[in-house]
Amino acid sequence: MFFINSRKLIKYAFVFLFAASLSLNFYQYQKNLDFQQSLGASFQNTVRKTIFHLDDPAGFWQEELKNENGNVALERHRGKLEANADKFNAMGGNMGVMGDQLHYLSKLYWNLAIAVSSGAENTRELNEQIEGHRSFITEALKETNDHLGEDEMLWFNELSNPDSQTSKQFWEEFKAFESGLEN
């Protein structure tokens, strides 16, 4: 009789442990999904902020640098670009290329500030470089934003995976842009 009760007790213990394990696994699965959605929302926010920060053409900053506090405004702008560049580098996939482009664009803005403060009259070539990089970044990010819409999981899956359609397309666009610079 004791043997039968202990078998029942063991059976109930296993059922309880199985149910507890199943519920813990489901809980972890939900937490993982929530984490991925929050990263996707962060990716979406970074892309949209970058588009917003690159709204002004290069000529705007050349004129702004002639104002009294123009250097301060440009430094703030460069700081925002650098912060977004770091966020792109942390995304994974092929989005690190965008971070590198933003760092380079920030450096071009720095060169523009030096040229304007030293009294250089002809900054046309520098403005063309800035405008070319700014246009590439803005167009690529707008296309990504339009393609991915509002689904945070899609943002996470597409931007963190180097084999995703969006990541591959972005890489191809970057290579085409890069080869255009070399010509």
Q: Where are the domains of the chain?
A: 1-31, 38-182
Q: What is the pLDDT of residues 72-128, one digit of tens each?
A: 989 999 999 999 999 999 998 788 899 999 999 999 999 998 888 887 777 888 889
Each residue's pLDDT tens digit, 170-180: 899 999 998 88
Burial of 146 (0-12, 13-18, 19+ CB in 10 A): exposed
Q: How many residues does the chain have?
A: 183
| Percent of the chain surpassing pLDDT 90 | 57
- pLDDT tens, residue by residue, 151-164: 999 999 999 998 99
Question: Yes or no: is domain 38-182 CATH 1.20.120?
Answer: yes
Q: What pTM, to 2 d.p., does this model score? A: 0.83
Radius of gyration of the CA atoms of the chain, in A: 25
Residue 29 exposed, middle or buried by CB count within 10 Å (0-12, 13-18, 19+): exposed
